[in-house]
């Protein structure tokens, strides 16, 4: 008779339901691969009907209070799929670790805000802490960084980490529709929340980026170190001009190691249509790493959803059952380095800028004068006829320039009487 590994699960929402189904349907597969019978013994959810909907066995104890489940359930691992940086999810995590329980979560917000503390607690109590599902859903990028690439110094890690934003940008490009129109459709299809701010303002991507940065560069998790921009300001005109210039717009989380530190940022950027990641569309995610021995590696898959995320959660359960695992941040707390953060203002790169200008003589000369004074060189320019506001869209790309200089120039240009609207600036990344 195989040894039984007992699982207690808090949260029977979309992902929790997927975990229940996977454990039921793949029981024989997991037994062969883990050498143990992985058995769900307890669940907790505010809605008691969920247990019936999921056809849970009478042998599975049900609790409406997850705290009670932690206290009473006989379990070898606690699974938290409730979500939220604080509140009950954080409370359950602290309680589990302090009781010496193995712990698995898909909660990127909690790790982004409290990961350093949780890493210390897990290490002190000698327990397994799994969070594969916290970044990029079904893509095993946490395992890749912690295990598969363990022999490499990582110089870059970047990617499309939010399916909602990628879907919106993809549909804008394919249909020519406006941001607001596509967002409304995404909400109806369930790809975007009623309040989409967490996704479209880059917060979700920032949580995932700071986790990847910590793993890639051996630094503490530091959400405050990131500069974060979302996609609210991207227009259908920007999408069209990007295509005309040979680019596509993607929201990326970008981590880079430099001689003097590390930069971690989230922003929409234009990438060449020839780049692999430019063709990752819809709700798909992609992560690319650059290692000194392995070189360029690309991971693509579904970044959310019931089945892909459940797959990642159960991968962690299997690791806990087989007593595999590394410290939460891959290295022991004493080995984590306080790495200097390189400000986005120090970025050296190319830029796309869309100006809305009045249709009058001397406008281009005045803009060019300010750019020249700030040492920003124009690479190309497109000028079109009047738009609905009676203004003229003026599109410029800049040669490689320091971001601080570009920002200073745009701030000065924005004050011009002939520039009635704030310029739209998008970074160009030649990935």
Q: Tell me the per-residue pLDDT of 98-124, one tens digit each, with 9 for 90 and over.
A: 999 999 999 999 999 999 999 999 999
Quote the distance between the C-alpha of residue 139 and its chain's center.
12
Q: Cα dist. 258→46, 91, 96, 142, 341 in Å?
A: 47, 37, 38, 22, 10
Q: Which helix (H) or strand (E) holds 3?
A: strand 3-10
Residue-wise pLDDT for 340-396, tens only, equals 999 999 999 999 999 999 988 899 999 999 999 999 999 999 988 777 677 889 999
How is residue 55 written in tokens?
Answer: 């056809």
Whether the CB-CB separation of 302 and 285 falls below 8 Å is answered with: yes
Catalytic residue status for 208: yes
Cα torsion at 254, 259, 261, 266 (round to 10°)? -10
Higher-pLDDT residue of 330, 407: 407
Q: In 10 A of CB 402, how many CB atoms?
A: 16
**Residue written as token pair 């890493």:** 119
Rounded Cα distance, 24 and 403, in Å: 53
**pLDDT score of 332 more than 90:** no
Separation CA 309–CA 303 (nearest Å): 8
pTM of the complete model: 0.94
Q: How far apart are the first and last CA of the chain?
A: 53
Please give the domain boundaries of the chain with CATH numbers for all domains: 3-134 (3.40.50.720), 141-302+333-344 (3.30.360.10), 345-428 (3.30.70.260)
Structure tokens at 237: 């005109």
Which of 108, 208, 250, 374 is catalytic? The answer is: 208
Indicate the helix (H) or strand (E) that contains 39: strand 36-44
What local confidence, expressed as pLDDT, does residue 58 receive? 85
Cα R_g (the chain), whole angstroms: 24
Question: What integer pLDDT is reported at residue 291 of this predicted model?
Answer: 97
pLDDT of residue 2: 79
Integer Cα distance of 69 and 87 in angstroms: 16
**What is the residue-wise DSSP string for 130-156?**
E-GGGSSTTS-HHHIIIIITTTS-EEE
């Amino acid at each position: 008779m195989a040894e039984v590994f007992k699982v207690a699960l808090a949260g029977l929402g979309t992902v929790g339901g997927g975990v229940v189904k996977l454990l039921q349907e793949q029981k024989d597969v997991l037994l062969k691969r883990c050498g143990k019978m992985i058995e769900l013994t307890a669940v907790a959810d505010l809605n008691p009907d969920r247990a019936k909907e999921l056809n849970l066995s009478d042998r599975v104890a049900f609790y409406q209070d997850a705290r009670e489940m932690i206290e009473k359930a006989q379990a070898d691992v606690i699974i938290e799929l409730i979500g939220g940086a604080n509140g009950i999810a954080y409370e359950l995590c602290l309680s589990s670790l302090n009781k010496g329980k193995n712990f698995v979560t898909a909660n990127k917000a909690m790790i982004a805000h409290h990961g350093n503390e949780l890493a210390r607690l897990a290490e002190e109590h000698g327990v397994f802490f799994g969070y594969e599902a916290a970044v990029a859903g079904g893509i095993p990028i946490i395992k890749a960084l912690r295990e598969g690439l363990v022999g490499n110094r990582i110089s870059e890690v970047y990617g499309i980490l939010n399916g909602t934003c990628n879907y919106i940008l993809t549909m804008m490009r394919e249909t020519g529709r406006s941001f607001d129109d596509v967002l409304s459709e995404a909400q109806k299809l369930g790809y975007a929340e009623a309040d989409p701010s967490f996704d479209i303002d880059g917060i979700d991507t920032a949580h995932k980026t700071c986790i990847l940065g910590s793993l890639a560069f051996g630094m503490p998790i530091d959400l405050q170190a990131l500069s974060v921009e979302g996609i609210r300001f991207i227009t259908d005109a920007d999408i069209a001009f990007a295509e005309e210039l040979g680019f596509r717009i993607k929201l990326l989380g970008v981590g880079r190691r430099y001689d003097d530190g590390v930069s971690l940022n989230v922003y929409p950027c234009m990438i060449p249509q020839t780049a692999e990641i430019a063709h990752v569309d819809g709700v798909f995610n992609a992560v690319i790493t650059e290692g000194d021995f392995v070189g360029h590696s690309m991971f693509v898959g579904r970044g959310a959803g019931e089945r892909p995320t459940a797959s990642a959660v159960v991968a962690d359960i299997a690791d806990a059952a087989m007593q595999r695992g590394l410290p939460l941040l891959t290295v022991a707390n004493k080995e984590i380095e306080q790495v200097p953060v390189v400000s986005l203002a120090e970025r050296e790169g190319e830029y796309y800028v869309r100006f809305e200008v009045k249709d009058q003589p001397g406008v281009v000369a005045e803009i060019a004068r300010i750019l020249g004074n700030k040492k920003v060189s124009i690479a190309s320019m497109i000028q079109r006829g009047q738009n609905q506001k009676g203004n003229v869209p003026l599109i410029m790309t800049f040669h490689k320039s320091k971001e601080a200089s570009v920002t200073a120039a745009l701030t000065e240009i924005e004050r011009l009487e002939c520039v009635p609207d704030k310029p739209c600036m998008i970074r160009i990344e030649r990935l």
